Amino acid sequence: MQSIVEAKILPDIGHIKLDDFSPNRITMFLYDAAVYKDKDGNPIKPTKYYKDSYTQLIFSKLHTLFDAAVKQGCIKDNTCTNAIKPKRNKPKKIKPLEIDQIKDLLKRSEDFNTYNAVIHFQLYTGMRIGETLALTWDDIDFSQRLIHINKTVNFVKGEFKIGPPKTENSYRVLGMNETVYKLLSQVKDYQNKMKDDLKDVWQNLNLVFTQDTGGYIQKANINNRLNPL
């Protein structure tokens, strides 16, 4: 596989002399690199942009190359420093649910099962879905009525991957009100019954919210239940 340098940087600007670069020229290159092109190098219609993380990677590699040129005495300053990186993909703002929508969700998911319990738990706590599905019983302190949030789970290339929360501030401890306390207690009781019924079939991963046999739940399974509501 070609590196970013071989695939994007050298073909487009590898012929330009170091002294001929300016912050504006690098900015123009980055904006051009952010656009999807056909096999002939022409922008596709309608215009489509790569993810900002992709152009950030190109910028990072280019900045490293110019740093090397500075250290070798080829140029005095890193020309990339004052270049402007394009930001085309603005994150979508998710609107909070209205009171009527929350009531409707609670009503439509009132029959107890693990998936409906996840929906109720998220509505009551506001936790991210990945954080919710990564919870283990070690994170639940029934005596102090606390929930410790310290990890998240994602389904990547056919495997469940456990990682840290989204940001440093995402490590936190939530108190549980009476409703959440009763909900988790009900989940615990139901899970203990499933363990007894399934015996060796049960996957003992110590998860709070699980599939029927104790494994991780995919986010998509929760979203599919939410969308029709």
Cα distance between residue 194 and residue 201, in whole Å = 10
Mean residue pLDDT of the chain comes to: 86
Of the candidates 23, 3, 24, the residue with the CA atom closest to the CA atom of residue 66: 23
Taking only the tens place, the pLDDT of each residue in 68-87 is 989 999 898 898 888 887 77
pLDDT for 229 = 43
pLDDT for 209 = 96
Taking only the tens place, the pLDDT of each residue in 188-209 is 999 999 999 998 899 999 999 9
According to the 3-state scheme, what is the secondary structure of 75-100?
A: CCCCHHHHCCCCCCCCCCCCCCCCHH
Inter-residue contact 163 to 149 (CB < 8 Å): no
Instruction: Provide the whole-model pTM.
Output: 0.58
The CA-to-CA distance between both ends of the chain, in Å, stands at: 44
